[in-house]
Amino acid sequence: MAFVDSEVSGGTAADQDALSVKIVVAGGFGVGKTTFVGAVSEIEPLRTEALMTEASTSVDDLSMLPEKRTTTVAMDFGRITLADDLVLYLFGTPGQNRFWFMWDDITHGAIGAVVLVDTRRLADCFGAIDYVEQRGIPFLVALNAFDGVQEHDVEDVRDALQIGPEVPFVVTDARERESVKVVLVTLVEHAMSLIQQP
């Protein structure tokens, strides 16, 4: 980040701001999203809540109606400072897939999504895959290594999910930093390849 004379900034855009980008970590309930984020985040994963009714009501109206604040939707996220002027955030989607309004916030402008899959509960990822496919969000499928998923299981899962060969499939252990790094690099490279050959 360029340190400019703070005298001149006076609260305007004189400073060179860092750029922030994000990657989404999606998948069904309990599939390891928070574990995955925590494995590479430089901070303990933080939790942000949104109000269920934010989808339909303006915030200003809501703030006058505290009795509407019944349902909150939580998402976990972490941060990785990649350079002085570049920060990557990892946002885990809410475990309950029905809160799609929150997904719009999380995915808007994202580099892409890691869809985490527990092969014992394949159907749990259908919602996430439908969502990212429909919106054209670059994604890969990461089989979380509960119960020792093997590389040779990958093509079976790809068939079961009916996902074409253009989408990367990887096996990961969400608890392992190195493994999570590889998944993220693979996703970024996939997003790059989609730009290079649109």
Partner 1 sequence: MATSDGRRVRPYLATRGRTRPVQDIAIEALVSTTTNGRDHGADPEPERERILRLCHSPRSVAEVAAIVSTPLGVARVLVADLESENLVRVADPHAAYAGSSEPARNLSVLERVRDGLRRL
Return the residue nearest ligand GTP (CB atom).
95
Nearest residue (CB) to partner 1, 80 versus 154 = 80
Residue type at 72? T
Site string for ligand GTP, 19-38 (x = CB under 6 A): ----------xxxxxxx---
When asked if residue 41 is in the footprint of ligand GTP (CB under 6 A), the reply is: no
CA 59 vs CA 62, 65, 108: distances in Å: 5, 10, 19
Residues in the chain: 198
Residue 171 CB burial class (10 angstroms; 0-12, 13-18, ≥19): buried
When asked if residue 173 is in the footprint of ligand GTP (CB under 6 A), the reply is: yes
Contact 116, 95 (CB under 8 A): no
When asked if residue 142 is in the footprint of partner 1 (CB under 8 A), the reply is: no
Among 29, 30, 46, 130, binds partner 1 (CB under 8 A): 46
Alpha helices in the chain (DSSP H): 6-9, 33-40, 59-63, 100-107, 126-134, 154-161, 177-196
Among 146, 167, 170, 190, binds ligand GTP (CB under 6 A): 146
Of 15-23, 149-157, 160-168, 169-177, which segment contacts ligand GTP by CB under 6 A? 169-177
* Contact of residue 48 among Mg ion, partner 1, ligand GTP, none (CB under 5-8 Å per partner type): partner 1
Among 25, 26, 31, 106, binds partner 1 (CB under 8 A): 106
When asked if residue 160 is in the footprint of partner 1 (CB under 8 A), the reply is: no
CA 104 vs CA 93, 190, 192: distances in Å: 10, 21, 22
Give residues with Cβ within 8 angstroms of 128, minimum separation 6: 26, 27, 28, 93, 97, 113, 115
Maximum Cα–Cα distance for the chain, whole Å? 61
Contact 90, 23 (CB under 8 A): yes
* Residues lying near ligand GTP in the complex (CB under 6 A): 29-35, 92, 95, 144-146, 173-175
* Residues lying near partner 1 in the complex (CB under 8 A): 6-7, 9-13, 15, 17-22, 40, 46-51, 54, 59-60, 62-64, 66, 69, 72, 77, 79-80, 82-83, 86-89, 91, 105-106, 108-112, 177, 181, 184-185, 188-189, 191-192, 195-196
